[in-house]
Amino acid sequence: MHTHQFDQTARHPGKLHMTQPSTHQPTGNIQRLLLGRWATLQQNLQLAAAALALALGGGSALANTAYGSLNNFDTVNGTGVPCHGFEIELEDLESTDITYTFDWNHYGTPKITEDTTSLPGHTNVIIRYAAVWANGTWSAYTAVPAGPIAPTDGHQFTNPDVNFGGEHFGVGYRWPPSAVKYHWLIEGGGGVLVKGGAVNITPVTGSGFYRLAR
């Protein structure tokens, strides 16, 4: 997200400088007009500041974000609720095409299955990292971040003893899938996990990493 800064003087670039109305104000209608415009400008600036704060992390959910590549990446929980797993779907591959999975996270070794019915004539591989529901509780979860998380360079969610809003995953394959889909898994009631909204992948310009965003 790019924020624009307003340069009002060469002496202090990047700052918006406002000057209070002079104490020697014109009288009558002109004075009331100037003071009215000043009050309106102050109000607009306050509203803009509040909107910017919300956009930078004051909302109920952050962006679903990941840094790295399919082989090895950190991903941030941007669903707004605790998650209990993560699913990766690789199109036009078979389970025997998977060479490894990264398992050092809160969910351990994923379950690998094949889907031959959703897309007739195609076989997709589903790699599902998931907690276990037992005695009315989940065995693991991914916390909601307390605030925006800076780019991680792909290796800051590799300690399962720490839970601050993300996980590290990775999948190896013999050849690239035709498409990849990512989903966080969230509580659907009764010990059932459901997909927490689709996650799409787009490159981050100049970073060499990738960003996943809903």
Residue 6 is predicted with a pLDDT of 33
- pLDDT tens-digit readout, 6-43: 333 333 333 333 334 444 544 566 655 555 555 445 44
Q: Are residues 123 and 198 in the same domain?
A: yes
Q: Are residues 53 and 121 in the same domain?
A: no
Residue 176 is predicted with a pLDDT of 93
Residue 54 is predicted with a pLDDT of 34
φ, ψ dihedrals at 68, nearest 5°: 130, -140
Q: Token pair of 214, please?
A: 């809903």
The Cα–Cα gap between 127 and 125 comes to 6
Q: Are residues 189 and 86 in the same domain?
A: yes
Q: Are residues 192 and 118 in the same domain?
A: yes
Residue 53 domain-assigned? yes
Q: Are residues 146 and 50 in the same domain?
A: no
Residue 194 domain-assigned? yes
Q: Are residues 94 and 28 in the same domain?
A: no
Q: Are residues 47 and 142 in the same domain?
A: no
Q: Which residue has the higher pLDDT, 156 or 29?
A: 156
Q: Are residues 55 and 71 in the same domain?
A: no
- Which of 40, 59, 78 is where one domain is finished? 59
Residue 58 is predicted with a pLDDT of 39
Residue 4 domain-assigned? no
pLDDT at residue 143 is higher than 80: yes
Residue 16 domain-assigned? no
What's the DSSP call for residue 178? Answer: S
Residue 2 domain-assigned? no
Residue 15 domain-assigned? no
- pTM for the predicted model, two decimal places: 0.67
pLDDT at residue 113 is higher than 80: yes
The Cα–Cα gap between 185 and 105 comes to 15
- Which of 59, 82, 111 is where one domain is finished? 59
Closest Cα partner for 167 from 77, 44, 39?
77
Total structural domains within the chain: 2
Q: Are residues 53 and 79 in the same domain?
A: no
Residue 11 domain-assigned? no
Q: Are residues 166 and 114 in the same domain?
A: yes
Distance of CA 132 to the CA centre of its chain: 24
Q: Are residues 42 and 121 in the same domain?
A: no
The Cα–Cα gap between 180 and 178 comes to 7
Residue 27 is predicted with a pLDDT of 55
Range of the domain at 54: 23-59
